[in-house]
Every structure is written in C-alpha cells, then in structure tokens.
C-alpha cells in the first residue's frame, strides 16, 4: 500500500455524497478526478461511552482515553476504471501534533449514524488495513491510499485508530474548506503521443480551495507543468509548501518547472522554494534556466532579482537565446510587463528581459502576480502592437489566490477574467501553438486560439 501522509488518532469514518468531477480533454489519453467530502464523520470515546460527537469540528484518534474516528463517503457519477483513491485529512490548527497519526481500516457497515454513534454502539472495524500514518504536525494535510477498497461507485466507511497516548486531531466536514476528502481518479495520465502540452498558472497555494480545484485540472492534463510564481502564500515558508502546495499541486511536482514570485521570496533568498523544488527549479538559488519541449525552447526567468540591461540574468538570457536552435520560444516569469489589474501596476523593470526575447524573435511570454487572467495581442517591448515580431503575452495568476479586480484596460488587451480559477494550457506544434484557458469545475469562462511562430 502506498501511503504519503495521513494522521488519525483512533478511528475515522467518513461519508460523502457530493462530488466535483473534473474531466479534461487533453488528447487521446486523459484522466478524470472526483473529489468527495464526507456525508458523515464522527468519533467515539471510551470514557464517555454514551456520548455522540457527530457535530464536532474534529475527529480524533488516541489511546488515552481510547478514541476512534469514523468516516463514510458515497461515491457516485464515476465512470471508467478507478486508478487511484486517496483519503485526505487535515490536522487542526492550535494543536502540537502527534507522533502517531493512526492506522486506517475499511469498515463493512455503512449504516451507522453520524449523530447517533457512540462508544457503546460503534460499528466493527472489520475491513482491510489501508495503512498507518506516522508523526503529524498541526494544520497540515495527510493522506492514505484507499485504492484497494474503492473500486467503483458506492458507499464506503473507514475507521482510524491509534495505540499512542498522544492523540491526533483532524478537521471534520463541519469545518468547511478543511473537510476530509476522498479523491478518486479514473483513466490514465500517460502522456499522449504527438505535440507537447505545456500547462500551468501562478499565484497558487493557500488555505482556500482554489488550489485544490486547479490541481484537479492538472490530474486530467498530461504534459509539462509550469508555474508563474507565488507558489505559496503568504511567506514562502517550508511549512506553507508542506501544508498548501504539497497536498494539491505537489502531486505533479516531478513534471513541474516552476518560477519564483515575490511571496516565495518573503522567506530569505526563497530558500524554502529552492529546497522544495530542488533541481527542477534550475541551478540552486539562481531562479532562471531553460529547456526544450519538442520544437520549442522554453525559458523560466526570475523577476525577483536584477533584470537590467547588462545584468547577469539579462546577459545569460541573450546568450541562451542565441545558442538555441529551436524555431519557437516561450518564456515565463512572475511580474508582468503588461497588465490591466488595479492591484499591481506593470513591472517596467522586466522590460530588458522582454526586449531580449523580442530581439531573438521569441513568440510567447506568460506572467502571474496579478490574480486575474488577461491576454494581450502581440506587442514589442514598448507596448506597441506588432503582428510581425511581437510577443503574445498572458497574465495567468488565477491558480488559487483570491481574485483581484481590473482597473484601466491597457492597450492591446484582448481577453480578461477576474472571477474564475483555472489553468492556461498550450499545445506546442512544430511551427505554431494553441492556447486554452481551462476553467475549474462549475465555471464556464473560456478563451482559446492559435498563433504562429515567427
């Protein structure tokens, strides 16, 4: 059984009836992810044998007194072969954690009552063992693999127990956004053959649910993932990467090529960012690097350090572009040179990077920083429309952080949205590209088109 992290103190049971099913059309091979929240969860306690805790905002696993948690989920609307099913729990804030997160098992009974179950009438914990969770901290997501039990639609009960006298505490469905989850994935995530897919967004992970929704989109889209900075909020700490990014976008880390944002640099030198991503973020501490995808050269730049003409980064970029043999180029960094958002003005200090890209006939640039989506027509480095050599630019800051508003609409702005989370997907052809704004489940905003390489 593969277990990432999951904390439960005695026994946990969850019930889920509602789900958000996200299906992405990423080519001939795709996946669908359904995230269910419990329809019921509670815990029981040995020294209060007739007390029900079904309306509590926490479930507990413990051995002194003995406390067991129960969870029940109802899976519906799922079609195809289930390739993964994971129970996800978040430890409560304000608790010091536990050296033992608990052992989780399946429970055959699915008829227990959330508001009627007590120690005296608790269901038997009689099913297969899913796994055991080790040490847990506060306010952090943990998960355990339930794939051996969840094979299709139906109702499933689980329980968590612990033999340790230092209990582990988790949020319940009564807590709202931090409610337990059962994440079910169907289909395959094997990349389709053909042109590369390049998909991502910026301004991503925090204590809200937007990052969970955009991460679910990635579950169904094959290809290389990029980020346009501010990967976690508010301060780019190791704890925030562990609590917010790892349980959501973290499951795609091995195929992610990030760039840092100003919030990542709120931790000195963005040290937690570089530690978390390791070699996939390029040379340690530098924050800019390049790679190739098919017929495309891809450049990730760092707008948190010097970008002036003649700076180390700007000179590296020019040398890198001069050495590339690819006919098409896409670049990304955090602070936008062009934006219509009222929150952050255009970052004119990035102009030398844009100018270098323009001088070497690059095609597309993507930014974050403003928590909106905006697309600009091809422009030169001075903001003038230039259909022959200009770069088409995108502000893609709709990864999960709270949305910003638009102010004065800037020249050559062609598409905008300020109320929909989503990801920006590129399909990189040999001499052209397609772009598509992919909205999260329940939203309808879209923007798509095709451009040619210079």
CATH match of 13-187 with 2.60.120: yes
Q: Is the pLDDT of residue 261 over 50?
A: yes
* Overall fold of domain 197-452: Purple Acid Phosphatase; chain A, domain 2 (3.60.21)
- Read off the pTM: 0.62
pLDDT of residue 31: 55
| DSSP three-state, residue 143 | strand
Q: How confident is the model at residue 187 (pLDDT cuts 50, 70, 90)?
A: low
pLDDT of residue 61: 97
Q: Is the pLDDT of residue 58 over 50?
A: yes
Share of the chain above pLDDT 90, in %: 77
Q: How confident is the model at residue 81 (pLDDT cuts 50, 70, 90)?
A: confident
Mean pLDDT, the chain, integer: 90
Q: How confident is the model at residue 22 (pLDDT cuts 50, 70, 90)?
A: very low
Separation of CA 204 from chain center: 7
Looking up tokens 């043999």 gives: 325
- Domain spans of the chain? 13-187, 197-452
Q: How confident is the model at residue 83 (pLDDT cuts 50, 70, 90)?
A: confident
Segment holding 60, helix H or strand E: strand 58-63
- Of 247, 176, 194, 367, nearest to 7 by C-alpha is 247
**What mean pLDDT comes out for the span 328-340?**
98
pLDDT of residue 21: 27
Helices (runs of H) and strands (runs of E) counted in the chain: 5, 24
Whole-angstrom Cα distance, residue 143 to residue 209? Answer: 17
Whole-angstrom Cα distance, residue 290 to residue 342? Answer: 31
**What mean pLDDT comes out for the span 399-424?**
97
pLDDT of residue 285: 85
C-alpha dihedral, 302 to 303 to 306 to 309, nearest 10°: 100
Whole-angstrom Cα distance, residue 405 to residue 370? Answer: 9
């Amino acid at each position: 059984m593969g277990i990432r992290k999951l904390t439960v103190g005695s026994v946990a049971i969850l019930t889920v009836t509602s789900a958000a099913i996200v299906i992405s059309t990423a080519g001939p091979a795709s996946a669908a992810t359904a995230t269910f929240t419990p329809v019921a969860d509670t815990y029981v306690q040995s020294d209060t044998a007739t007390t029900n805790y079904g309306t509590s905002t926490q479930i507990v696993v413990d051995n002194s007194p003995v406390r067991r948690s129960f969870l029940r989920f109802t899976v519906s609307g799922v079609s195809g072969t289930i390739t993964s099913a994971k129970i996800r729990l978040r430890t409560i804030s304000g608790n010091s954690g536990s050296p033992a997160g608990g052992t989780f098992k399946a429970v055959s009974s699915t008829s227990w009552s959330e508001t009627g179950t007590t120690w005296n009438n608790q269901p038997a914990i009689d099913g297969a063992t899913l796994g055991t969770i080790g040490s847990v901290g506060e306010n952090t997501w943990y998960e355990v693999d339930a794939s051996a039990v969840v094979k299709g639609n139906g109702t499933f009960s689980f329980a968590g127990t612990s033999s340790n006298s230092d209990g582990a505490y988790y949020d319940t469905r009564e807590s709202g956004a931090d409610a337990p989850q059962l994440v079910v994935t169907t289909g395959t995530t094997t990349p389709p053959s053909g042109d590369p897919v390049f998909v991502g967004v910026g301004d991503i992970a925090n204590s809200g649910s937007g990052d969970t929704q955009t991460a679910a989109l990635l579950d169904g889209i094959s290809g290389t993932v990029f980020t346009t900075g501010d990967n976690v909020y508010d301060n780019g700490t190791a704890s925030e990467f562990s609590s917010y990014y790892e349980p959501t976008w973290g499951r795609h880390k091995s195929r992610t090529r990030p760039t840092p944002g100003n919030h990542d640099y709120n931790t000195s030198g963005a040290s937690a960012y570089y530690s978390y991503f390791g070699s996939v973020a390029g040379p340690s501490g530098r924050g800019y690097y390049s790679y190739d995808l098919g017929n495309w050269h891809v450049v990730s730049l760092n707008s948190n350090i010097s970008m002036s003409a003649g700076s180390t980064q700007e000179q590296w970029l020019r040398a890198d572009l001069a050495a590339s043999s690819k006919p098409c180029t896409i670049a990304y960094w955090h602070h936008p040179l062009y934006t219509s958002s009222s929150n952050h003005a255009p970052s004119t200090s990035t102009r030398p990077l844009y100018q270098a890209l323009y001088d070497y006939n690059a095609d597309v640039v993507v930014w974050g920083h403003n928590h909106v989506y905006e697309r600009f027509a091809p422009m030169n480095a001075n903001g003038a429309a230039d259909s022959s050599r200009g770069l088409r630019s995108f502000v893609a800051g709709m990864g999960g952080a709270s949305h910003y508003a638009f102010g004065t609409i800037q020249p050559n702005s062609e598409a905008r949205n300020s109320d929909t989370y989503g990801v920006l997907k590129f399909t990189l052809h040999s001499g052209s590209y397609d772009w598509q704004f992919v909205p999260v489940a329940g939203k309808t905003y879209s923007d798509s088109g095709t451009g040619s390489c210079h």
